[in-house]
Amino acid sequence: MILNELQLSALTEISNVGLGHAATALSTMMGKDIQIDVPNLDSVPISAVDRYFESPESEIVGVYLPFDGDVNGNLACLFDWSSAVNLWETLLGSAPETAADVDELYASVMLEVGNILTGNFLNAIADMTNLRMLATPPTVGVECAYTVVSTIICQAEYTDAIALAVETCLYSESHSITGYCMFIPDRPGLSLLLDRLGVADVA
Amino acid sequence: MSSASTSTRLMVNMAEIHVLTGAGQLVGLGLGSCIGLAAYDGSKKIAGLAHIVLPEAFVDRAVTEPGKFADTALPELIRKMELAGASRASLKFAYCGGANVFKFGPGKTNDVLEVGRRNADAVKAVLSKFSCRVVAHDVGGNSGRTMTFDVATGLIQVKVLSVGQEDLCTLS
């Protein structure tokens, strides 16, 4: 399944709205004005797994959760290490020194951030398309970028879903947080979404 | 088949299979739920590594990347080893990976994350089906692994973020 330009632009648009809602919720949580920008959205082939972070060996934090309803799939929020440290310092007042120091407490902050981003993202898309999508409990992993992204793509391929990477930049006065959201609907769900957005395949 | 220089460090990316002869290193970077499957002919110093992504090929689709699936990767790895001059009877194997790296949170037991375990099971099954000699394996758990396979010595090392690098085995 290859998405055409019109479909990609429709998906970018709903992602923008979805992440806009997510940013507002995150602003409230962090007590800071957070702006969000979605410069780019693309489908992720296996060969592009190492494209998304500066170095495939750099450590990142990934929040990953399945959603179900009218559309089934998975969502992921990925933060590079310095962005994760910014989130921890803002929300908790301290941050782990290394990836190996991430414990349940630090992970729970990321679970909460992931919950807020993905819950608002899904709700906004559900409202726009009138399709029901409900988040299920999230998980967090801290590993090198290649490991996290390849594992998510493995799951996508295994369930025959399409991984869409949404480049996401969040800004506040003091912190810059960059990352990726990956929106991974299964094929029937993606077809349904595109249909509701008025950009279904003619074939 | 050209001999590699000692400095050759070849990354084996998802769904790829590479074979080196003489010297150099094959690297399976950041294996999460994926499996790195190594084969070695010690007498000829021929080493191969497959970066397996999924347990089995989709029945209704043509296989364009045999390295992607456990059931197609092993025969393709053996074929490439033989093409490089290896003798099938002397091949020894080792594999690692198949982790679930999303280890925190209430969703961690979700079975959608089980593809790592399924990959490990599938690799074990296909090696047994082809009666392959498996020297060592390191699968499961919650940590990503980087696998480094030294062509000259057959030494396989596994690096885990929280532990550092350790020897898995020497395929000689």
Q: What is the 3-state secondary structure (H, E, C) of A17-49?
A: HHHHHHHHHHHHHHCCCCEEEEEEEEECCHHHC
pLDDT of amino acid B56? 93
Is the pLDDT score of A144 beyond 50? yes
pLDDT of amino acid B125? 98
Give dist(CA B93, CA B49) in Å, integer.
10
The string of pLDDT tens digits covering residues A17-33 is 888 888 888 888 877 77
Is some CB atom of chain A closer than 8 A to the CB atom of B135?
no
The length of chain A, given as a count of residues: 203
Average pLDDT over chain B, rounded to whole?
Answer: 92
Is the pLDDT score of B53 beyond 90? yes
Q: Any bridge partners for residue B147, and if so which?
A: B28, B158
pLDDT of amino acid A173? 66
Q: Tokens 């062509």 label which residue?
A: B151
pLDDT of amino acid B59? 85
User: What is the arithmetic mean of pLDDT over A141-156?
Assistant: 89
DSSP state of B69: B
Q: B161: closest CA among A181, A146, A48, A84?
A: A146
Is the pLDDT score of A156 beyond 50? yes
pLDDT of amino acid B1? 45
Is the pLDDT score of B3 beyond 60? no
Is the pLDDT score of B8 beyond 50? yes
Q: B15: closest CA among B61, B54, B58, B62?
A: B54
Q: Is A105 exposed, middle or buried, given 0-12, 13-18 or 19+ CB atoms closer than 10 A?
A: exposed
Give dist(CA A26, CA A20) in Å, integer.
10
What band does B4 get if pLDDT is binned at 50, 70 and 90?
very low
Q: Tokens 């093409």 label which residue?
A: B83
pLDDT of amino acid B95? 98
pLDDT of amino acid A15? 84
DSSP state of B121: H
Give dist(CA B112, CA A155) in Å, integer.
7
Of A6-10, A51-55, A60-64, the poorest mean pLDDT is in A51-55
Distance of CA A39 to CAs A53, A168, B9, Å? 15, 7, 35
The string of pLDDT tens digits covering residues A167-202 is 777 776 666 777 788 888 888 999 999 999 998 875
Is the pLDDT score of B6 beyond 60? no
Handedness of CA A97, A99, A103, A105 (dihedral sign): positive
DSSP state of A161: B
Is the pLDDT score of A94 beyond 90? yes
For A147, the closest chain B residue by CA position comes to B30
Give dist(CA A172, CA B42) in Å, integer.
57
The string of pLDDT tens digits covering residues A102-116 is 999 999 999 998 888
Give dist(CA A164, CA A155) in Å, integer.
13
Is some CB atom of chain A closer than 8 A to the CB atom of B23?
no
Percent of chain B with pLDDT over 90: 80
User: Within the 138-167 window of chain B, which residues sit less than 8 Å (CB to CB) from chain A?
Assistant: 143-144, 146, 161-162
User: What is the arithmetic mean of pLDDT over A142-155?
Assistant: 89
**What is the torsion angle, in degrees rounded to the nearest 10, for the CA atoms of residue B119, residue B121, residue B124 and residue B128?**
-130
Q: Any bridge partners for residue B28, and if so which?
A: B147
Residue of B92 and A151 predicted with greater confidence: B92
Residue of B36 and A166 predicted with greater confidence: B36
pLDDT of amino acid B2? 47
DSSP structure string for A97-133: SSGGG--HHHHHHHHHHHHHHHHHHHHHHHHHHT--E
Is some CB atom of chain B closer than 8 A to the CB atom of A49?
yes
Instruction: Using the CB atoms, write b or e for B12-47: b if 16+ within 10 Å.
Output: bbbbbbbbbbbbbbbbbbbbbbbbbbbbbbbebbbb
Is the pLDDT score of B51 beyond 50? yes
Is the pLDDT score of A4 beyond 50? yes
What is the ipTM for the molecules in this complex? 0.87
Q: B101: closest CA among A62, A163, A103, A57?
A: A62
Is the pLDDT score of B111 beyond 80? no
For B99, the closest chain A residue by CA position comes to A151
What band does A160 get if pLDDT is binned at 50, 70 and 90?
confident
Dig out the tokens for A61 from the structure.
Answer: 């934090």
All residues of chain A having their beta carbon less than 8 Å from the beta carbon of residue B161 are: 59, 99-100, 142-144
Among B9, B64, B102, B103, most A C-beta atoms within 10 A, so best to mutate, is B102
Dig out the tokens for B104 from the structure.
Answer: 């925190």
Give dist(CA A96, CA B164) in Å, integer.
18
Q: Any bridge partners for residue B50, and if so which?
A: B17, B37
Average pLDDT over chain A, rounded to whole?
Answer: 85
Number of Cβ within a 10 Å radius of residue A123: 17
